Amino acid sequence: MKERFENRIAIVTGGCRGIGKSIAMKLASEGAFVYALDYVIPSEDEVFSEQPELAARIKCMQADVTNFASVESCVSTIIEESKKIDILVNNAGITRDNLLMRMSEAEWDAVINTNLKGTFICTKIVSRPMMSQRYGRIVNIGSVVGIMGNAGQSNYSASKAGMVGFTKSIARELASRNILVNLIAPGYVRTAMTDKLSEEQRKAFLDNIPLKRVAEPEDIANSVAFLCSDDASYITGQVLNINGGLYL
């Protein structure tokens, strides 16, 4: 049986940990060769060691998504090695939570630069070879708070809301070249970041989720794989909410 992403070349930013790691593993498990870009690369023994059979299909590369030259250098290397790029998943993101009255300019800038500017930089650079080959799948990882907002996360919410508008605009620009651009907006996902929440905070989240459970990173990875597959060949400019009913 042919794998869905056989002979496909994928880039996943923030791909060495958390949701990005699960996305990289999912795409690789279905035949893609994945370049996992990350600001800090863990040792090879720590990354993907639980599934060594996938290691041959995933290559970690250091990149700063806020720096145009850094991303351009990585993409040039990828094109030189693989001759094309079929899939881009803009997953890299950070939080610097604070109430507006306490939020520093540095906290605002760091989040906007990584989450929103980083998505712009990666999409701009990777869309060039995609346009030439007249094929591409771009999936941006937003957040439920980019749609509903959240106290203490005005910077993060603004960055993720900006990604929604960016996704819809770029989908219109690139559609004629058979490049589909969509966004996934996860809700509460079990990651190292959310594991730091207190029991009280976790309960508050679960009380508002109709399915009464948090998402696993694999839930997001499965949705990314769908949007990158031929099954989603007539879907572009859309926001797919994966939140267990948190925001209906």
Catalytic residues: 156
Taking the alpha carbons at both ends of the chain, their separation in whole angstroms is 37
Cβ(123)–Cβ(88) below 8 Å: yes
| Per-residue exposure over 104-115, b if at least 16 CB sit within 10 Å of its own CB, e if not | eeebbebbbbbb
Alpha carbons 205 and 128: distance in angstroms, whole number: 41
Length of the chain: 248
Q: Which residue has the tokens 């597959």?
A: 229
Q: How far apart are CA 85 and CA 83, in angstroms?
A: 7
Which helix (H) or strand (E) element contains residue 37?
Answer: strand 33-38
CA distance 128 to 245: 37
DSSP letter at 145? H
22: which 2 tokens? Answer: 């699960």
